[in-house]
Structure 1
Amino acid sequence: MHNRVLVLDKNRRPLMPCHPARARQLLRRGKAAVFRRYPFAVILKDRECGTVQETRLKIAPGSKVTGLAVVAECARRGQTVLWAAELQHRGAAIRKALEQRRAHRRFRRSKLRYRAPRFDNRRRHVGWLAPSLQHRVDTAMTWVERLRRWTPVKGVSTMLHRFDTQKLQNPEISGVEYQQGTLFGYEVREYLLEKWGRRCAYCGKENVPLTIDHIHPRSLGGSDRVSNLTLACVPCNQKKGNRDVADFLAHDPKRLARIEAQRKAPLKDAAAVNSTRWALWERLQATGLAVEVGTGGRTKWNRARLGYPKAHWIDAACVGESGTGVRLEPAMPPLQAKAAGHGERQRARLNRHGFPVGHKAGGKSYLGFQTGDLVRCAKPGLPAFVGRVAIRFRPSFLVIGPSRKAEAHPKYLTVIQKADGYAYA
């Protein structure tokens, strides 16, 4: 079973999605034309309006991946999933770029001490979210608005759940312990000495000078939480460097498993969902659609009772009371949409100290092409293939496909779909 094909009438109003075989039949007979490749949609040439069923868009918000499912109320089969997708966010990439920009700015400031401080000039509005968190809300709402244009959506369902981050770390926590925190009665170093038995976590040496080490390096996105800190002797710390513990201890899986079991689970993903849940709910309410809310526990109960496997789009289909008896095919491959961004606004090329040494070209397109466009490459001497184009400001573009890449002149390229900020699979 595959995703249904999205259908629009000749006035671009959404109709009920159809089976892929029906879409192929319409295309062969010339009654329809391809409207979009990803997600695949056709537009009818001679039909106007039509009967539509009650259709609901269901969302399972996540930190890294958000599940989407379009569910219709069928008279014969009941609640049925017609279309599904998994949206991969790029919050980690945004956070890394902001940290790099912050480091450059701080370094430049240290070299220009005569400049007046400006850290009090910025004000945050009510409801402000960090850019990496706001991105998660914005991309989810982008797809809500898109699917409203392409499918007859009459309502929205979303999960409004909150993770108990302290209980995730300590399942036995209760009462006043919620107010005391992890380091109640300890300093950080003393806490680590007691937690790791006053020995090196990597080689087990005792009675040697110990240093504090990040299990998952900060340069790779690790945090300063005590759950990400351990003790290491100086030789092990220097040998590990900025490698992840999984790479450093690949030769000793038993010790790696013990360290992973002793450390606590990172809470960045749970914190991201907790921070964005109300912002997403308010944006959904502003659409004017009927918004159904469900909890994570209800979603899991629905999925387990129906016997469906764990997947982001399946969680979306099982959200709320409407997910009690939803029908779906677990083997159906959802559309994979990965947020790739719309390029960067930074024009200056920086040296390692953060000072500009050149500037990038100001335009974003050249000869009618833009980086990220989906094109068909028909370069002589090579088999034709479809891929994404990376433009250069000269007539020699790089086309990257699933299995090959090639440099080609724009005259050998045909645009299939313009760049929209996402990569699809």
Structure 2
Amino acid sequence: MQHIIDRFISYVTIDTESDAGSETTPSTAKQWDLANKLVEELKAIGMHDVTIDDKAYIMATLPSNVIHEVPTIGFISHFDTTPDFTGANVKPQIVPNYDGKDIVLNAEQNIILSPNYFKDLLLYKGQTLITTDGTTLLGADDKAGITEIVTAMEFLIKNPEIKHGKIRVGFTPDEEIGRGAHHFDVEKFGAEWAYTMDGSQIGELEYENFNAAGAKIIFKGKSVHPGYAKGKMINSLLIANDFINELPADETPETTKGYEGFFHVHHLNGGIEETVLELIIRDHNKKKFEKRKELIEKITRKINKKFAKQFGADIATAEIKDQYYNMKEKVTPVKHIVDIAEKAMREIGIKPLIKPIRGGTDGSQLSYKGLPCPNIFAGGHNFHGKYEYVPVESMQKAVEVIVKIAELTALGDYVKTEETIKNKK
């Protein structure tokens, strides 16, 4: 277990925060620091065909150790961390034998990780937790996933008696800003299917995710001295506020769960003359997703009509861009890849938690690029903030799941005997 702790800490203490405002790939130069380290580590543990391209996409191969035909499978994680909260100077804290009580992350700032608020903590009494020091995120999303994949590959290399087919691993930049799969070369990767190790709680197994879009609405206004503004001033901030109030109040992230979609206003910047509103649109159901986008356009038209005479032109413009789609459409036809992961979990004593992702992963985009890619737990909780933590035992179990999936794939219905192969030739 110490081996996993050491590896994980060596990753999270490298700052890899991505930047949505950047036009490069990776979006930040510091992502190369971990990318280059991973390349050397994959070579050191004995992986074959270790490559990194000019955009920091890493791929490597564990060759098959059986003589029969087995589908090539893959495991994928991302090494960037979210720009939502700082990932610089991460100082992980180890909490052995967690007692189920409050964890003081930072005494000076009175930052407490409490099971009274984060009830999932109580699932891990008696286990070893890795937390933040209260001033940064941790980076278990998704450096826990990378830790698990590298550790599983190392284990398989050291234990050749465990039979498996060809395995490909891939590590990507910029997943947190929605670009992780944009430059992923599916053909080069060469797997029939893959799994992202990018989920949360132990047992999670997901093959449904949101349909997603982002919207930017720009509101114009007219600035006039406030003492002489009657009938003349148009305050774009107030128009933006009116727009927000037109959205369903009970369809926000904090009021929804499960398959329920939402609108999420995440940025509002401006002044009297111009205000920019940014939000994201999410829904598992494709028809409801399209209706949500239509509502944005409908509200925009309503506001333009209201101010048409006074402003003399469209006072609001909306730009809506699709980001990714529900992978269920691509995974359901090959549902056996989910069944294998479910069986792997059950065989090592984990109860699978099959549920929809209230978000997206590289796997959602990769599935639409021809690489069906369900998502498996990596073990962390409270991602994207100072209360993030990961139980070490969950990471250990994720390693075991990867190994078992490799083993089951080699032993399952995909195996073709030597006689079948000869007849085929």
Q: TM-score w.r.t. structure 1 length?
A: 0.23
Work out which of the two has the higher radius of gyration on C-alpha atoms and give 1 or 2.
1
Report which of the two has the higher share of strand: 1
Q: Which has the higher contact order (CA 8 A, sep 6+)?
A: 2
